[in-house]
Amino acid sequence: MEFTGAPRLLIASDLDHTMVEHGDHDNKSLLRFGALWQAHFSHDSLLVYSTGRSPKMFADLRGEVPLLTPAIAVLSCGTEIFYGDSMTEDDAWVDNINKGWSRAAVEEVANEMNLKYQCDSEQRPHKVSFHVRKEEAKYVIPSLREKLLAKGLDIKLIYSGGLDLDVLPRSAGKGQALRYLLNKLKAEGCVPQQTLVCGDSGNDQELFSVDNVFGVIVANAQDELLQWHANQVGDKSHIFVSTEKCAAGIIEAMKHFNLQPNVSPRDCNVPLSVHCRRIPKADPGAVAREVVEYLLLTEQWLRGDIDASEAAFRRLKFSLDKNSNRICARGIIDNPHEEIESLRNQHGSQKGKNFRIWADRVRSIKLSDDSWLVRFDKWERSDCVNLHLVQMLNGRVCSLVLFYKPMKNFRMEFAGN
């Protein structure tokens, strides 16, 4: 984790059909959420993904859509927990869920019943996964449960998306994993001020039963989760069923629960005036917002979403010290003001090309009372790149190191990557 102290907000979100809207070619709402998180939360809050995907399928998804790097990744339906960019696995969690578990015994019963296994990458040490059609689920699930319990196994069965059946240790699952993480944070004196859980299907249900969390069931949720919600008695005011789909529903829930700020920089105009612009008190959040606005403005210029104007140009240059150096990924050193000048003639050059730029892993270190060292990854996507679609779709083009001087300008240097 990049900061110490209690996170202002912890978001624990499912990925498929919750954070990620498959079929949305532009990933519009995911990019909106990403800009909001990066600009306003990344410096003091925790983003946790909680997905049924294995490490391999999680890595695949990160190559396909503009997902921010999470602080914590809870994978394989809450059976594997990884921290940070290095994806360091939590071995204590693995030990925790080992009790009463035998993969071999689960397979033995499944083979007897002739169940259809999911692909190899989704079979994990503490998760055995099958495909079971909705019509068959009604009798397959109770019968499998009965046989596994008869063998003395301490397991749980989770049905999601009207097709996926997961068998896990009873002590595992998305809800148990989140409880474990919250307890860990508590032991470190870092209880999040607020927690929001987000989901769309059966394996997310447990998240909504964790104590002291707000929850959003996104508009496009599966029947099994909506049914569960409908069957709940008592106070359900901590769970919001959004009217918008996927990540747009998460932003809607932030508004509903008054988790501030909740307006994405992608939903408002980047202020162009530099004369009356006052750089707020130097804090890591202010720097992150500057980075997000700078990249957003560059994107809008290239897409032709904003008018070609001197004001937009001045605003771009305002963020960068004239005397700084830029080291591109290929090792070429130049001056960022020259780079900005080269954009002048490219206004609108990316029109209609599904072109987007976004920042990930904005990190800042205070160097002295009036300067900060900031590093971030800049990503670009464009339809006009035609080779190896998935690899080229999201190409990390460079990492930037930026010095922030409050009340003066930014000085930016780029580190090769």
Query: Is residue 164 close enough to count as binding Mg ion by CB under 5 A?
Result: no
How big is the site for ligand GLC, counted in residues (CB under 6 A)? 11
Which residues are registered as beta bridge partners of 131? 116, 164
258, 260, 261, 264 alpha-carbon torsion, rounded to 10°: -50
Q: How far is the CB of 177 from ligand GLC (least distance, A)?
A: 13
Q: Please, which residues have CB within 8 angstroms of residue 101's CB and are 6 or more apart in sequence?
A: 126, 153, 154, 155, 169
57, 62, 63, 69 alpha-carbon torsion, rounded to 10°: -140
- Strands 214-217 and 239-241, by their bridges, are parallel
DSSP class of residue 326 equals E
Among 43, 53, 126, 363, binds ligand GLC (CB under 6 A): 53
Among 7, 34, 52, 285, binds ligand GLC (CB under 6 A): 52
Among 8, 14, 165, 168, binds Mg ion (CB under 5 A): 14
What span, in angstroms and rounded, lies between the C-alpha atoms of 203 and 228?
A: 11
Judged by CB under 5 A, the stretch of 16-24, 251-259, 287-295, 403-411 that binds Mg ion is: 16-24
DSSP string, 144-163: HHHHHHHTT--EEEEEETTT
379, 299, 250, 50 alpha-carbon torsion, rounded to 10°: 0
Query: Is residue 166 close enough to count as binding Mg ion by CB under 5 A?
Result: no
Judged by CB under 6 A, the stretch of 159-167, 185-193, 319-327, 330-338 that binds ligand GLC is: 159-167
For helices 28-40 and 246-256, the axis angle rounded to 10 degrees is: 40
Task: Using the minimum distance from each CB to ligand GLC, give the nearer residue, 177 or 312.
Answer: 177
CA 24 to chain centre: 16
Query: Is residue 50 close enough to count as binding ligand GLC by CB under 6 A?
Result: no
Among 18, 45, 79, 160, binds ligand GLC (CB under 6 A): 160
3-state secondary structure (DSSP) of residue 60: helix
Q: In what helix (H) or strand (E) does residue 251 lie, and over which residues does it extend?
A: helix 246-256
With CB cut-offs between 5 and 8 Å by kind, which of ligand GLC, Mg ion, none does residue 171 bind? none
**Tokens read off for 289:** 């917002």
With CB cut-offs between 5 and 8 Å by kind, which of Mg ion, ligand GLC, none does residue 164 bind? ligand GLC
Among 9, 77, 110, 259, binds ligand GLC (CB under 6 A): 77
Amino acid at 98: N
216: how many CB neighbours lie within 10 A of its CB? 28
Task: Using the minimum distance from each CB to ligand GLC, give the nearer residue, 57 or 297.
Answer: 57
Query: Is residue 129 close enough to count as binding ligand GLC by CB under 6 A?
Result: yes
What span, in angstroms and rounded, lies between the C-alpha atoms of 414 and 331?
A: 10
Among 21, 44, 90, 122, binds ligand GLC (CB under 6 A): 122
With CB cut-offs between 5 and 8 Å by kind, which of ligand GLC, Mg ion, none does residue 38 bind? none
Q: How far is the CB of 137 from ligand GLC (least distance, A)?
A: 13
Query: Is residue 16 close enough to count as binding Mg ion by CB under 5 A?
Result: yes
Query: Is residue 222 close enough to count as binding ligand GLC by CB under 6 A?
Result: no
Burial per residue of 319-331, b for 16 or more beta-carbon CB atoms within 10 angstroms, e otherwise: bbbeebebbeeee
Query: Is residue 27 close enough to count as binding ligand GLC by CB under 6 A?
Result: no
Among 21, 44, 166, 252, binds ligand GLC (CB under 6 A): 166
Task: Using the minimum distance from each CB to ligand GLC, give the nearer residue, 164 or 321.
Answer: 164
Query: Is residue 319 close enough to count as binding ligand GLC by CB under 6 A?
Result: no
Q: Could you list the residues that contact Mg ion (CB under 5 A)?
A: 14, 16-18, 200-201
Q: Could you list the residues that contact ligand GLC (CB under 6 A)?
A: 52-53, 57, 77, 118, 122, 129, 160, 164, 166, 203
